[in-house]
Amino acid sequence: MREFNQFLINNISLTKSSLAIGSGIALIACLSSNANAQTFVPADIIWLIDTSGSMGDDINQIKLRIGQFNNAMLGAGIDAQYGLVEFADGETLTQDIVPFPVFNAPGGAFQTISTSGGTERGSQAVNVGLANATFRPNSVKNFILVTDEDDDSNPTQFNNARTGLPDNNALFNFIGVPGTGNTNARYGVLASENGGAAFNISAFRNNPDPFFEKFINTKVEEIIENNPNPEFLTKSAIAKHRSLTGSGFEQSDRRFPQPTVCCQILR
């Protein structure tokens, strides 16, 4: 093992091209040395759901597909837990972050969402989640907002969300109405500044199957990229990254473990 460690170190210290080779070798060594480990990337995902009257069908579609979403997380080596903020004439954390079986349980907050109201303060819903949810240490924090309206939050509420997300290293995605009202200036900005993407709810409504598959793949990739403990990436997470990006691990400039980390583990 000492000779192998020294070989890795020698490969790492040569040139830029040999660094890529050393990285690939070190990655294989890391995975081999942890072949029996069951380490998953922790991700805490808060769904921010507009519960105004027009959202009933969208909410039902999400309920139908949440199992598919969670299975994709598990398949990619992600230990996802979930919370829920409902907003429409008020913003409330109705479910703190819990494992999936609790989140999706019959009679729980998620499965019993009902629609009412018509004032959609999505930015303020972000603030409520940040202030009240119990995040796990070193988890990848995620906010997914779903609405068919723009943002009724006041400027202070929006600015608090704009500050709070990066302060908490949280990702933000939204399924909404890009180009409508202040959507781009609010939710578009939150997504672009916090590692996320915008999705059109019309596409979700028109053809939910391919839409949700694409959405899930995007979330998996984002979580893998933002893993705060990259030395513990699993084989399945790396395979998922390759399938989504079309690149080999050693060719990526994204946030994955460096060869020196692998060498330290091997020692």
pLDDT tens digits, one per residue of 78-93: 999 999 999 998 999 9
228: pLDDT confidence band, cut at 50, 70 and 90? confident
CB 116 within 8 A of CB 52: yes
The per-residue pLDDT for 238 is: 53
Mean pLDDT of 44-68: 97
243: pLDDT confidence band, cut at 50, 70 and 90? low
The per-residue pLDDT for 111 is: 97
Mean pLDDT of 137-163: 97
pTM (2 d.p.): 0.76
Helix (H) or strand (E) segment spanning residue 262: helix 259-266
Dihedral angle sign, alpha carbons of residues 126, 128, 132, 133: negative
DSSP state of 188: I
20: pLDDT confidence band, cut at 50, 70 and 90? very low
Boundaries of every domain in the chain: 2-37+234-266, 41-225
61: pLDDT confidence band, cut at 50, 70 and 90? very high
Side chain identity, residue 170: A
The total of other beta-carbon atoms located within 10 Å of residue 86's CB is: 25
Mean pLDDT of 160-165: 98
Helix (H) or strand (E) segment spanning residue 239: helix 235-245
The answer on pLDDT for 10 being more than 60 is no
d(CA 122, CA 137): 25
Mean pLDDT of 220-235: 76
Nearest to 117 by CA among 163, 49, 44, 172: 49
d(CA 16, CA 36): 32
Please state whether beta strands 170-176 and 140-146 pair in parallel, antiparallel, or not at all (unpaired): parallel
Mean pLDDT of the chain: 81
Dmax over Cα atoms in the chain, in whole Å?
Answer: 68
234 or 256, which is more confident: 234
d(CA 251, CA 83): 35
CATH superfamily of 41-225: von Willebrand factor, type A domain (3.40.50.410)
165: pLDDT confidence band, cut at 50, 70 and 90? very high
182: pLDDT confidence band, cut at 50, 70 and 90? very high
25 or 225, which is more confident: 225
242: pLDDT confidence band, cut at 50, 70 and 90? low
Residues in contact with 95: Cβ distance below 8 Å, sequence separation at least 6, in sequence order: 82, 83, 84, 103, 108, 109, 110
37: pLDDT confidence band, cut at 50, 70 and 90? very low
